Amino acid sequence: MPANNNTPLLTIFLLFLGLLRFDSFPGLQAATGKLASVPGLYVFGDSLVDAGNNNYLPISISKSNYPHNGIDFPNKKPTGRFCNGKNAADAIAEKFGLPLPPPYLSLRGLLERETRKSAAVTGVNFASGGAGIFNGSDQKLGQAIPLSKQVNNWLSIHKDLSTQLGPSEAQAHLSKSLFTVVIGSNDLFDYFGSFKLRQQSNPQQYTQLMADKLKDQLKRIHDSDARRFLIIGVGQIGCTPGKRAKDSTIHECDEDANMWCSLYNDALVKMLQQLKQELQGSMTYTYFDNFKSLEDIISNPAPYGFADVTSACCGNGGELNADLPCLPLAKLCSDRSKYLFWDRYGHPTEAAARTIVDLMLSDDSHYSSPITLTQLVST
């Protein structure tokens, strides 16, 4: 249809360019989602939500950019996600109609300048496999990006966004965006495996230190205009295939490990309540009880669509297919949608990640407090 006389030719030209370069208009991508109240998604954490940052760490061996990882990702591509397909961060982005947040380290360099500008608006993934709240030995040896460094990387994106949109508009944009934090498991694994750490502090002291250290980092994120937080608790890491396989008779969960997870989650919940008070209500958050959600799925898997909630889908045989990690020559389960766990470490399959995200977005507040994620993004 020809343009009328009131339509400037420049507008038509810009619209034409927008059709050619759809990714240069992030708002168009976001418009397809169900919950358009979230303009950006910024992700911090560990391998549960890493989108490939560790691919760019030159000496890290904590990578998953090889088969069978990614076998169900578009084009069967191993992207660095510790999963057969998309992870929970991807599923959250899709629920809100946002592009999958790219790994921060993929946005460096002159050739990535335009991609970085677009991602700064719609969301970036800072997570790193093996990362912890503390700067543990893995991080010090260049194996992962600890949370404090992830926040440094976020501050770099925040600076870009403020320059791109202007300080006032950037502040308004970020106040409506969602900041997701999924971390803590590796700190607990470090505690289990370190006699020195267990000598220095008992489980209650250690988990309280975890919560206190996380509080410091959440404050830094908040001080850079973040207002809405999704904080995901630690799951039942005592029930991962690798932990169960150590009990070679009946494959029971490691209840000591689960107890320490509960101690940390309790400290985390109290810390979040205190932090909101300290910030005088300028921070809103939902805490998702990942421990309870996994406990319910494991105790009654059928309603969730799972047939196996103990074995690793991808592994090298042995007890629960959990003797070795998911390597290119690993034994792969035939129906990934029926398995809760992707590998011996307890990374969820794509089906499991989507199930957990559905529980996050449920109107039922059984797993979420003090409000649900749906209520959070509507505030």
Q: Which active-site residues does the annotation give?
A: 47, 343, 347
The long-range contacts involving 17-24, CB below 8 angstroms and separated by at least 24 positions, are 23/99, 23/115, 23/118, 24/114, 24/118
**What phi and psi, each to the nearest 5 degrees, are found at residue 315?**
-170, -175
What is the enclosing helix (H) or strand (E) of 160?
Answer: helix 147-165
Whether the Cβ atoms of residue 328 and residue 296 lie closer than 8 Å to each other: no
Distance of CA 168 to the CA centre of its chain: 28
Distance of CA 100 to the CA centre of its chain: 12
How far apart CA 372 and CA 378 sit, in angstroms, is 10
What is the enclosing helix (H) or strand (E) of 214?
Answer: helix 203-222
Distance of CA 211 to the CA centre of its chain: 18
In 165-283, which ranges are E strands? Answer: 178-182, 228-232
Q: Of 241, 233, 346, whose CA–CA distance to 291 is shortest? A: 233
260 HSE (CA, 13 A, CB side): 25
